[in-house]
Structure 1
Amino acid sequence: MEFKGSLHHHVKQTSTPKAMSQRFDAEIASGSLFVPQEQLNGFSFPLLPVITQQDPSLIQSFAWGLIPGWAKNEDIKKMTLNAKIETLHEKPAFKDVLTQRCLVIANGFYEWQWLDSKGKNKVKYEIGLENEALFAFAGLYSHWVDAHTGTLKSTCTIITTAANELMASIHNIKKRMPVILQPKDEQAWLHQASITGFAYPYQVPLVAKAMNEHYRLF
């Protein structure tokens, strides 16, 4: 059974392109194909639907796992699925793209609650808004050119912050959660509002349900 990663490494996007387009008042970019999926594992570096501050009227597909422009290869993406909001200004992978804001579209994410101190017994939870409504994670993006092939690759990362009370009870070891933007603040994020204003206690009302999936590792 695979446990690699955590909440900010497994997201849900089961809405149709039409629903995304209507919710975010944006067109699906030419060539961007989104297949509804119950679970997208970050460590497979899937394409996610994003809206950038550069093209706010388009929903594009960017690979999950940010590759900064200076990277010599793609290896760093394993470490950049998420970006801690508290250290964005310090980390080399993120500090040069702080103004390259994006919305990462989803309608859920997953977390495993540890039932013992070593994580050998876990319960899977699905977390999101009421009625599985679409929302936007706060994200950053980058355009990277492979020096060997000349291929341009667009990638993104999801911002995380300290957990609220609900998430601290589920993500009960690291106690983190992704930054889910309040709808009224989505444009503010894209238009360079202060990053510190989106750290916890900034939050949206989340709901969680156990998936009745218990895992044991021996």
Structure 2
Amino acid sequence: MCFYMQMKDPKPKVEARFKVQASPESLWPQSEYFNGFSFPKIALITDTAPHQLQTNFSWGLLPSWAKDSDFRKNTLNARLETLTEKPSFKNITHQRCLIPANAYFDWHWLDPQGKAKQRYCIHTSEELFAFAGLYSCGQHPETGETINTFTLLTTAANATMAFIHNTKKRMPVIVKREDELRWLNHEIEPKALAFPYEVPLLAFPY
């Protein structure tokens, strides 16, 4: 799973890496440690604007039928295996995005009782990579205002993440650099990103 991530690089560096541009007036969401459960705004790239870095999307997908915004705590992640079955995701599998990041965080449980754990910082050999995600644009159920939200796709863990995430053994889908535009252009089906599709990961206690 993935509920915590890092985007610490400045906007120009991210623009150069992904060959995109953000609006000059947009605030840049930058943090060593984004907590998904606070539903932060995080920069992403959508399939409808593949050359634009958008900064008005909040983590935690809000389906159109949700009665309150706290529902998003259930949709920070979306399992690849059940995308077409879950009401939250089955109608938006065509609404694809990339979420640039420097790293993400997960915990390794040190004892069977689940009372002691070690946090790890996980990243790739590149300074910047991108998670695969889905997005939604709709109305806030409480205010009626437009709200843009997204979720990260997850798959079965590779060897590194099976050791770290040693309970559910899941990991977020990180798109290979050569597949990033292919994902946005709908040239890759979601199921093709399921493990054993993977990007090698590096992990360190944090």
Q: TM-score range by the shorter chain?
A: over 0.9
- Cα RMSD, aligned residues only: 1.3
What is the CA-CA distance between 1:158 and the residue it aligns to?
Answer: 0.2
CA spacing shift, 1:205–1:28, aligned 2, 3 Å: same
Q: Which runs of 5 or more residues in structure 1 are unaligned?
A: 1-6, 212-218
> Do the aligned partners of 2:132 and 2:174 also contact (CA within 8 Å) in 1?
yes
Partners of 1:199 and 1:41 lie apart in 2 by: 25
What is the CA-CA distance between 1:31 and the residue it aligns to?
Answer: 4.3
2:58: which partner in 1? 63
1:179 aligns with 2:173: yes
Partners of 2:162 and 2:118 lie apart in 1 by: 14
1:98: which partner in 2? 93
> Do the aligned partners of 2:69 and 2:141 also contact (CA within 8 Å) in 1?
no
1:113: which partner in 2? 108
Candidates 125, 130, 145, aligned match of 1:130? 125
What is the CA-CA distance between 1:121 and the residue it aligns to?
Answer: 0.8
SS at match of 1:196: helix
TM-score, normalised with respect to structure 2 = 0.95
Partners of 1:140 and 1:148 lie apart in 2 by: 23
Alignment of 1:166-205 (within 5 A): 166-192=160-186, 193-205=188-200
Partners of 1:183 and 1:71 lie apart in 2 by: 34
Partners of 2:142 and 2:71 lie apart in 1 by: 17
Q: Which runs of 5 or more residues in structure 2 are unaligned?
A: none
1:210: which partner in 2? 205
1:83 aligns with 2:74: no
Give the letter for the 2:66 counterpart: A
Candidates 64, 68, 74, aligned match of 1:73? 68
What is the CA-CA distance between 1:29 and the residue it aligns to?
Answer: 2.9
1:53 aligns with 2:83: no
Give the letter for the 1:64 counterpart: W
What is the CA-CA distance between 1:76 and the residue it aligns to?
Answer: 1.6
1:28: which partner in 2? 22
SS at match of 2:89: helix
Runs of 4+ aligned structure 1 residues displaced above 4 Å come to none
> Do the aligned partners of 2:110 and 2:117 also contact (CA within 8 Å) in 1?
yes
What is the CA-CA distance between 1:30 and the residue it aligns to?
Answer: 4.9
What is the CA-CA distance between 1:57 and the residue it aligns to?
Answer: 1.1
Partners of 1:35 and 1:68 lie apart in 2 by: 23
Give the letter for the 1:104 counterpart: I
Give the letter for the 1:181 counterpart: V
Give the letter for the 1:164 counterpart: N
2:134: which partner in 1? 140
Partners of 2:144 and 2:24 lie apart in 1 by: 21
CA spacing shift, 1:30–1:94, aligned 2, 3 Å: farther
Tell me how many residue pairs correspond in the alignment.
Answer: 204
